[in-house]
Amino acid sequence: MPPKTIGLVAHTGKPGVPELVNAVADEFAGHKIAVLIEKETAAIAGRVSDQPLKQIAANSELLVVLGGDGTLLSVAGELGETMKPIFGINVGSLGFLTCVNSSAYREAVECIAREKITFSQRTMLDVTAPGDGKTQSRVLGLNDAVFTRGELSRLIRLCARVNGEPLTEFNADGLIIATPTGSTAYSLSAGGPILQPESGVFVITPICPHVLTNRSLIVSESSVIEIEASERAYPVFLSVDGRNPVRLARGGVVSIRKAKTKLQLAGLPEASFFSVLRQKLKWSGSNV
């Protein structure tokens, strides 16, 4: 059965979003599908709603996100273990996750109403980091956990272990632990491989390593990856899915594993992973 209730949330700072919110909401109404609009999204569209994102998600069968990949990552991060299926309509630039362009919103709504959408099961990261005193902070991420040197133009040292066994000490600008979904993000820019979403692996990618033999390493998603901030002189920062970085104390160990929660990422039936790659990376074959 098609969803009876849709949750609608948007990046409120993008041009044209208020008009798009109203157009999408009206289109769903035409298909007799109820729409719950997140309160900040409703405010910019001139509609009335006092429901925050988590309340919208709890009462919806599908979330429709208007924005770029960053917006979708932000929504997924806020929902965490209360995740709901998400369909992204791209109002950004590249858009690997929100692969339906805003100009095709009518087609997207019709496909949702007629049950013609597909779902891709996306693995998420469970990241546990040392907090204040004996406490630990735990966050979920869809793309990656990134260790960086902050604003200092110096290399940092990071000891990596996989399932308790030492891997190496990276002397680099930083380190990326990415899911297959995140393999087309920062990890790709740092020279990492592109992974198929259901490949069942993580990729460890150093950022500008000092040792040229340090290359991306693919490990099973059942692995537990531990990263220790072994740098003595300079700070190390951790950011999950581009959120505000957290400073790690020397000797602090961050544990990264597969989360129990998965994201059901919805899309149009013709928008396969490889078709999106061809479009977004402009792969057109040989010019010879």
- Asked if residue 24 belongs to a domain, the reply is yes
Assess whether 140 and 68 both reside in one domain: no
Which residues, including other chains, have CB under 8 Å from residue 200's CB and lie 6 or more apart?
123, 220, 221
Helix (H, G, I), strand (E, B) or coil at 195: coil
Helix (H, G, I), strand (E, B) or coil at 117: coil
Assess whether 193 and 228 both reside in one domain: yes
Q: For residue 245, what is the DSSP state?
A: P
Q: Which residue stretches of the chain have pLDDT < 50?
A: 288
| pLDDT, tens only, 199-250 | 999 999 999 999 888 999 999 999 999 999 987 778 899 999 999 999 998 8
Helix (H, G, I), strand (E, B) or coil at 228: strand
- Asked if residue 285 belongs to a domain, the reply is no
Assess whether 255 and 140 both reside in one domain: yes
Assess whether 144 and 254 both reside in one domain: yes
- Asked if residue 35 belongs to a domain, the reply is yes
Assess whether 216 and 139 both reside in one domain: yes
Assess whether 141 and 92 both reside in one domain: no
Q: Give me the numbers of helices (H) and strands (E) for the chain, helices first please.
A: 7, 17
Assess whether 9 and 108 both reside in one domain: yes
Residue 239, beta-bridge partner list:
146
- Asked if residue 286 belongs to a domain, the reply is no
- Asked if residue 68 belongs to a domain, the reply is yes
Assess whether 160 and 100 both reside in one domain: no
Assess whether 246 and 135 both reside in one domain: yes
Assess whether 273 and 222 both reside in one domain: no
Q: Please count the CA atoms within 13 angstroms of the CA of 253 that sit on its side-chain side.
A: 10
pLDDT for 132 equals 67
pLDDT for 98 equals 86
pLDDT for 194 equals 97
- Asked if residue 61 belongs to a domain, the reply is yes
Q: What is the CATH number of the domain that holds 148?
A: 2.60.200.30
- Asked if residue 150 belongs to a domain, the reply is yes
Total tally of structural domains belonging to the chain: 2
Q: Which residues are catalytic?
A: 69
Assess whether 128 and 112 both reside in one domain: no
Tokens for 43?
């405010």
Assess whether 132 and 87 both reside in one domain: no
The boundaries of the domain holding residue 91 are 5-117+268-280
pLDDT for 232 equals 77
CB 234 within 8 A of CB 93: no
Q: Which residue has the tokens 């692995």?
A: 223
pTM here is 0.92
Nearest 10 degrees: CA dihedral of 53, 59, 61, 66? -30
pLDDT for 288 equals 46
pLDDT for 287 equals 54
Q: What is the CATH number of the domain that holds 72?
A: 3.40.50.10330
pLDDT for 152 equals 77
Q: How many other CB atoms are found less than 10 A from the CB of residue 141?
A: 27
- Asked if residue 287 belongs to a domain, the reply is no
